[in-house]
């Protein structure tokens, strides 16, 4: 039994037993609980800590655990209606109202109910995460000299150097001095948007695009302006037209295995995208979220846009979170020129710094042979999962099978029949026991057609992907009939 499951089960059992004890009465000693429930002393200790955090027990070192005395709770019912004005009033009618619509992000972050197969998330399942290597790295990191001291505000030097090599390639196109360590990719995107555009300004985004980009832009008071993508990525002539029409000074894109389409920006368009932005006096924010998620049949990957940009047009964002663990929130921003100091200042004001033990753990992880083995394992597994989902779609829902499959990332982008109610279909799928992501949150403006995004990463295995698509067929039969 997994340690986490043992702790949860013991907590549930002890909660039920607490009614047998009077407030202040001592619970059985840990040794007795170990024997009664056949668990380890560590499991007992963790379960009691959970109950203590819930206010149900009190632990006293050397004395044991006691049932907590009930606390008198008298919630005050205040008047919060004033907040409607405070959150909505704008100093200028020209400003874009700030708001945080996290619905599109929550659809991929929320853990589905028990029994529901997850084809909506954006993280690897526990079976594909390097959890043993992470645990060992964290333990070693905590023993490093100075591990609990304040880190440099820009990040630990060795970790900045590692990211610089990843971003710039073997030619050293990026130096450690041009890298800032961030608390994951989403934090880096938010920092970049705030640095490059003032409140009320337009910012160009791919259409469709990752909902987290749209949410971060709108929460910063920015106005996302969509630029359509096709099978080769963003269309440069439309990008140039959008810069002229909007006056925007930033374009956010995902050139490699774009979310949600899986598109890779073609070689000609890579050069043209940076050239168009440079001519407009604008920045390109390169969200390189999927470089470590290439499948084993992906072939050689193109370098980052930042590696081919000596003029500082590209601000690069990347992270270890997707490939390692949702909890390893360590990423990087890479930029050149005066913008780097602005990025640094905003990050310092927002979060001071990324905790040093987490940075040291990331260094320990990527510096071991287990890291390369993990990358190879994930590359092979993602390919198998992709092929499993494609075969299941061809068998169960052939009309929805995508015309091409990305060789990186963790999702498929499905075009639905015209007039399909995406929300109704996603709800029907949940009732059928599978979670999927509707396409609407991926568009900054009106979408040309309804879509679904299916993720093959979070499922427990290939059998679960097969069953998830079968359940989706049942939902489609209900909604599309």
> What's the gap between Cα 388 and its chain centre?
24
Contact residues for 359 (Cβ-Cβ < 8 A; gap 6+): 151, 155, 156, 159, 181, 330
pLDDT, greater one: 104 or 200: 200
Q: Please give the Cα distance from 244 to 413 (Å, whole number).
A: 30
Please check whether residue 232 is in contact with residue 187, taking contact to mean a CB–CB distance below 8 angstroms: no
Q: Please give the Cα distance from 107 to 392 (Å, whole number).
A: 23
HSE toward the beta carbon, residue 448, CA cutoff 13 A: 8
Q: What is residue 343's predicted lDDT score, i.e. its pLDDT? A: 93
Q: What share of the chain has pLDDT > 70, as a percent?
A: 93
Q: Calculate the alpha carbon distances from 264 to 164, 302, 306, 400 in Å.
A: 22, 9, 16, 21
Q: Please give the Cα distance from 286 to 306 (Å, whole number).
A: 8
Q: List the domain boundaries for the chain.
A: 3-67, 103-128+372-479, 131-368
Q: What is residue 7's predicted lDDT score, i.e. its pLDDT? A: 85
pTM for this model (two decimals):
0.82
Whether residue 276 has pLDDT greater than 60:
yes
- Beta strands in 210-336, from DSSP E residues, in sequence order: 223-230, 233-234, 250-253, 283-287, 314-319, 331-334
Q: Please give the Cα distance from 445 to 430 (Å, whole number).
A: 26
> What's the gap between Cα 230 and its chain centre?
24
What does the block give as tokens for 268?
Answer: 């000609």
Q: What is residue 2's predicted lDDT score, i.e. its pLDDT? A: 41
Architecture in CATH for domain 131-368:
3-Layer(aba) Sandwich (3.40)
Q: Domain 103-128+372-479's class? A: alpha beta
Q: Calculate the alpha carbon distances from 462 to 373, 387, 437 in Å.
A: 21, 9, 19
Whether residue 42 has pLDDT greater than 50:
yes
The CA angle 241-303-177, to the nearest 5 degrees, is 95
pLDDT in tens, 18-33: 888 888 899 899 889 9
Q: Please give the Cα distance from 270 to 288 (Å, whole number).
A: 13
Q: What is residue 225's predicted lDDT score, i.e. its pLDDT? A: 93
Whether residue 1 has pLDDT greater than 50:
no
Q: Please give the Cα distance from 255 to 270 (Å, whole number).
A: 8
* Length of the chain measured in residues: 481
User: Using 50, 70 and 90 to split pLDDT, how confident is the model at 77?
Assistant: low
Backbone angles phi, psi at 83, to 5 degrees: -65, -25
Domain 3-67 is found in CATH 1.10.10.10:
yes
Q: What is residue 383's predicted lDDT score, i.e. its pLDDT? A: 97
Whether residue 96 has pLDDT greater than 70:
no
Q: Please give the Cα distance from 254 to 233 (Å, whole number).
A: 9
Backbone angles phi, psi at 433, to 5 degrees: 100, 25
Give the burial class of 175: count Cβ atoms within 10 A of its Cβ; 0-12 exposed, 13-18 middle, 19 or more buried. middle
């Amino acid at each position: 039994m997994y340690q986490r499951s043992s702790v949860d089960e013991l907590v549930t059992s002890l909660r039920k037993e607490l009614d047998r004890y009077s407030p202040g009465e001592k619970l059985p000693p840990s040794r007795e609980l170990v024997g009664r429930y056949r668990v380890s002393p560590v499991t007992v200790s963790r379960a009691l800590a959970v109950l203590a955090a819930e206010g149900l027990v009190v632990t006293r070192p050397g004395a044991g655990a006691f049932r907590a005395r009930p606390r008198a709770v008298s919630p005050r019912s205040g008047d919060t209606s004033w907040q409607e004005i405070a959150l909505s009033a704008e100093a200028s009618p020209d400003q874009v109202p700030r708001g945080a619509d996290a619905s599109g992000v929550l659809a991929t972050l929320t853990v589905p109910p028990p029994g529901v197969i997850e084809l909506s998330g954006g993280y690897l399942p526990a079976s594909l995460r390097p959890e043993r290597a992470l645990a060992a790295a964290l333990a070693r990191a905590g023993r490093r000299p100075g591990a609990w001291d304040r880190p440099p505000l820009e990040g630990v030097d060795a970790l900045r150097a590692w990211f610089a090599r990843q971003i710039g390639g073997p030619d050293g196109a990026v130096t450690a001095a041009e890298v800032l360590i961030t608390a994951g990719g989403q934090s880096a995107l938010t920092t970049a948007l705030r640095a490059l555009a003032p409140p009320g300004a337009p910012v160009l985004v791919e259409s469709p695009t990752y909902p987290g980009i749209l949410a971060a832009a709108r929460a910063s008071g920015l106005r996302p302006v969509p630029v359509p993508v096709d099978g080769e990525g963003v269309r440069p002539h439309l990008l140039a037209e959008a810069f002229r029409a909007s006056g925007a000074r930033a374009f956010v894109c995902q050139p490699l295995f774009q979310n949600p389409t899986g598109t890779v920006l073609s070689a000609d368009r890579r050069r043209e995208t940076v050239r168009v932005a440079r001519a407009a006096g604008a920045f390109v924010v390169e969200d390189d979220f999927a470089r470590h998620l290439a499948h084993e049949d992906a072939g050689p990957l193109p370098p980052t846009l930042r590696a081919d940009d000596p003029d500082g047009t590209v601000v690069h964002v990347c992270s270890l979170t997707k490939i390692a663990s949702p909890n390893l929130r360590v990423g990087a921003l890479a930029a050149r020129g005066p913008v780097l100091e602005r990025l640094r200042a905003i990050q310092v004001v927002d979060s001071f710094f990324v905790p040093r033990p987490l940075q040291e753990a990331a260094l320990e992880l990527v510096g071991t042979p287990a890291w390369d083995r993990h990358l190879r394992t994930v590359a092979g597994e993602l390919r198998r999962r992709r092929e499993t989902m494609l075969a299941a779609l061809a068998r169960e829902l052939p009309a929805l099978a995508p015309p091409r499959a990305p060789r990186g990332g963790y999702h498929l982008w499905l075009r639905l029949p015209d007039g399909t109610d995406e929300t109704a279909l996603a709800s029907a799928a949940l009732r059928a026991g599978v979670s999927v992501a509707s396409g609407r949150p991926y568009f900054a403006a009106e979408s040309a057609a309804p879509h679904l995004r299916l993720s093959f990463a979070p499922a427990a295995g290939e059998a679960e992907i097969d069953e998830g698509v079968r359940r989706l067929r049942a939902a489609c039969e209900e909604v599309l009939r």
